[in-house]
Structures are given as C-alpha cells and as structure tokens.
Structure 1
Amino acid sequence: MKVAVIPGDGVGLEITHAVQHIVKSTGIPLEFEEVFLSEIQRSRSVSLEDAIKIIKKNNNVALKGAIKEATSDVDRKDINRALKKGLDLFAGVSNIRTLSGIKTRHHKNLDFVVIREQTEGEYSSLEHELVPGVVECLKISTEEKLRRIAKFAFDYATKFGRHKVTAIHKANIMKLGDGLFLRICEETSKLYPKIKFESMIIDNCCMQLVSRPEQFDVMVMPNLYGNIVSNLGAGLVGGAGVVAGRSIGMDAVIFEPGARHAYEQAFGKSVILMIFLIF
C-alpha cells in the first residue's frame, strides 16, 4: 500500500522520518512518497493542488507533521485549512488519553475523544476590512455539514464502544449558529438510543476539563472550540507529543498531531516525543 508523507515544518521532518523507519522495521508493506508542503518555506513547497494530487494517488492516505501558519501574511491562504477543504476532511479527531510512563500533573486514566467539524465555522477564511479599523469575520454554519459531523460523532461512539456524546456549544449567545448545531445534535441523538447525550457550554466545558475531565467520553463541537479543547486536552495528558489525531473525510484520511504544533525551536535537538504519529 502506498501512503503520502507531508513532513511539515519544525520537527515534522524528524518525526515523519522516524515513523517511516519504525514502520519499515516492522515489515508492514507500506511505501511512502514524500511531498514537501509549507506555508513559511514557499520556495521549497509544492503547490496545494499538487499535494492533493499526490495524496489521491497514494490511496487518499497521508502521514503529516504540523504545518506552521504564516500569520503575518493576510493574503496567503492557510494551507492546513485549504488542504482539509480540498479533500473534504470534515472530521478532526483527537484522542486524549493518559499513557503509561508519561508524567501528568493531576489526572490519571483519562480516555476521551475530541471531534471537531473542520471545514466551516470560524475557520472559513471569510474575513475582510469593511473600513479602516473595522474587520468582519464570518462564522459559517450549514445544516448539511452539522448533520454530517453529528452523525459522525454518534457513529464513532457506536463503533468504538463509547457510551456518551457531549455536544460543546455557545448557543446561549450565538442562538442561530450554535443553536442550529445544538438542535441538530439533539435530533441526531434520538437515532442512537443506546448512546447517552449531553450538551455543555464551551465556557463550562473548559472549567470541567481542568476539574473533572474523566466525565467526558466523546465530545463533538464546531471548529474553533475543537481547536481549543484538543490543545487543552493535550495539556492534561503530557503535551502535544502524545496526542494522536487524524482528519477524516468520506474518501481520504490524514494522520497528524492531535494538537498541531510545529516546534521549530526543538528541531535537531532530539527532545520531542513522537508517540502521536504511532498510535
């Protein structure tokens, strides 16, 4: 089987090479095709379109390190989001669990999953300056994609023997956008009577993650909240290096860090855990 490899920036090159070496040493019949895609090293990077073609050529499967965003260039398209939209990788899945031998500060035996819709929401890249000093950033929520991510979360819980899905939202303030998300999750939950359903406002969710994270099982949420919660979860279990993640679509999947940090400052120092790309 052929798999595309996108090393990304920072320590991604070291990590993806190490994972390839580990896989080959096990005798697993995988072939890797490496493609360099970067937002900050443009002269070395292939185009987004070429990267997508290479992933499709390699069975729609890729191993990917973190790609750092060029935050200072407002005209530059964010490659991470564009890649997910190009392959319609609508579900971001991060596994938050404590691992034997990895030191954590307080909590033990954590095992929950963060599922985020990652093709719309606040990260739709639809923002503009109306007049000098006034910026408008649009949050897009569509019934079609919200139903898709809600169904994905309940299907995931069913498939992997999970018992509860918690919808994370801010419907008390964003009554239309997040209200639509919450209503769809409630409607979807009725189709899965064996799975317990709860909802929680994102503010309270962050507090509960710090105080009682063991209460969570499968968490489903819009894009921005998922970004924050997956990183918060990583902090609970030992850092970004131990959180496995993947971006999943109907036809393609990318295996990548569950909490996406390039860690350029650690390149060449052999101090980064690479567990997240092995699990």
Structure 2
Amino acid sequence: MKLRDELDLFANVVHVKSLSGLNVRHKNVDMVVIREQTEGEYSALEHESVTGVVECLKITTREKCRRIAKFAFDYATKHGRKKVTAVHKANIMKLGDGLFLKQCEEVAAMYPTVEFNNMIIDNCTMQMVSNPHQFDVLVLPNLYGNIVDNLAVGLVGGAGVVAGASYSTRCVVFEPGARHTFSEAAGKNVANPTAMLLASANMLHHLNLQHYGDMIQNAVDRVRTKDMGGFATTTAFANAVIASLKH
C-alpha cells in the first residue's frame, strides 16, 4: 500500500486469459480486470470509537472515480476491446458506489464505439463463474477489484499463471496478477513462476521490445509445473526458459 501511495499507482490491470493445455472448466477466457487501488476500503482509515466498536471509512472521490473510468475506456480503445462493465454496489451504497457508477456513465458517453453496461458485484461474481465469456473489460472500485481479479484468475488456473501491472501517470510496476502468499510452496522448489515471468514479458512489450517479450512468452508457454499438469520444478522451469532464450 505504501508503494502504491508513493507512486500513485491508481490502476491495477490484470489480463485474465486461458493458457493452452490446462484442465479448467471454461476454455478461451479472455477478460481484463481494471481496479482502482488508491481509495475505498483499502484507504485503511479506521478507528475504534469506543471499546468494541470499530468505524472503517470508505473514501470515494469524484476525481479518482473519473480517472479510473477514463483509464478503462482508454485501455479498451487502445487494445481493441468492445465492452466495459462497471461493477458496483450502488443499490446499497447509493452515495459512494453511486458516485463511482455515475462517473463511469459520464465517461462512457465520451466513447460511443465502446459498449457500456454495469453490474452489481454480487451478480458479477455469480455470472463470472457460470459464464465468464460475457465479460471483456471490467472496471471496479478497490475492494471489489481485489475480489474479482482473484476469482477471475482462478478460472484460468490460479494466481500463479496470470501477470498484472499497476499504472500511475508516470510509471508502471509489473507484478503477478493476484497477490497471494504461497507459504505452503516456500522452499519446496514447486512454486509456479509463470506469472512473474509473464510480468517480465509484459514489461518488455511495454518498452516496445516486442521481440524479446515474445521470446519469454513463447518459452513460458512450452513449460508446465505440476499444478499445470506437467512435471517441472521451479528450477527446471526457469532453466527451460533460459535454455529456450539462449537457443
């Protein structure tokens, strides 16, 4: 959170896409989850007003709602995406989430070539599990984004196989797409490094080093750890990618 605040990494982007060869329920999933990550419940503004009573503040501002909405539509336009879905709980949080939804609607009017709809977070999670192919780009406030991107990566194989990135107006931080701690895999040489390696490929693509990014992407596509139905250890996976790059 300190890193995000210091660099103003307001937009977290996770491209959730099916990998070949994985035994998952839904095939050909391809969606982008865009999460505002500088306010909302994750502002960590809470206090114990009296003993046993805690108040947690959910901060929502027009400026940041509009900024993430515009980022989502700009992203959709740049990457040839057809639809943006705003996910919210404005039926209950009429002021906070209502403000987020209103800004998304106003920004959507500026992009007539991009389809826009909105969905309540409860329904979104149910629809994602049953029919993820209906989604293209999703834009969400902080907490909902955290929940949905973890759910989405689970559809394509888990947190270890999806890369993400966090954007500010002046820099980008490339990282795994879902922030889990794999304590059960620590020190056992079994952790899946796909997400981190794909994050490296995405960074090269961002720097217009397309050829080198593709080399890493293609190498990763050919190796499988045990959780992906293969036999490679973490070390063997890394060595195979290095060997492929040398070749």
Q: How does 1:24-35 map to 2 (within 5 A)?
A: none
Unmatched tracts of structure 1, length 5 or more: 1-80
Give 1:273 shift: 1.7
Q: Could you list the per-position Cα deviations for residues 103-128 of structure 1 after superposition, in whole angstroms to 9, with x for gaps in the alignment? A: 21x10000001001000011001000
Residue type at the aligned position of 2:31: F
SS of alignment partner, residue 124 of structure 1: strand
Q: Name the structure where helix makes up a greater proportion of residues.
A: 2
2:120 matched residue in structure 1: 201
1:176-195 aligned within 5 A: 176-195=95-114
Question: Share of identical aligned residues, percent?
Answer: 66
1:38-58, Cα deviation, whole Å (9 max, x unpaired): xxxxxxxxxxxxxxxxxxxxx
Matched with 1:103 is: 23
Which residue of structure 2 lines up, in the alignment, with residue 8 of structure 1?
A: none
> Which residue pairs with 1:248 in the alignment?
167
Given the alignment, which residue of 51, 65, 85 partners 2:5?
85
- Residue of 59, 62, 85 corresponding to 1:166: 85
In structure 1, what is the Cα distance between the partners aligned to 2:60 and 2:29? 31
Corresponding residue of 1:224: 143
- What is the CA distance between 1:102 and its match in structure 2? 2.4
- TM superposition score normalised by structure 2: 0.79
1:214 alignment partner, one of 133, 145, 149: 133
Question: Hey, which bits of structure 1, 4+ residues long, moved more than 2 A?
Answer: none
Correspondences of 1:7-86 after superposition (within 5 Å): 81-86=1-6
Partners of 2:61 and 2:39 lie apart in 1 by: 8
* 2: CA distance, partners of 1:198 / 1:255: 29
After superposing the two structures, state which structure 1 stretch, 216-225 or 251-260, moved more.
251-260
1:94 aligns with 2:94: no
* 1:268 CA displacement: 2.0
| Correspondent of 1:112 among 15, 20, 31 | 31
Q: Find the counterpart in structure 1 of residue 222 from structure 2.
A: none
Is 1:153 aligned to residue 77 of structure 2? no
Structure 2: 5+ residue runs without aligned partners? 199-247
The 2-side partners of 1:271 and 1:102 are apart by 17
CA-based RMSD: 0.8
Number of aligned residue pairs: give it.
Answer: 198
Deviations 1:208-256 (A, max 9, x none): 0111110000000100000000000011000100111111101111111
Greater length-normalized contact order (CA 8 Å, ≥ 6 residues apart): 1
Equivalent in 186, 189, 196 of residue 270 of structure 1: 189
SS at match of 1:175: coil
* Partner-residue secondary structure (3-state), 1:126: strand
Q: Secondary structure at the residue paired with 1:193?
A: coil
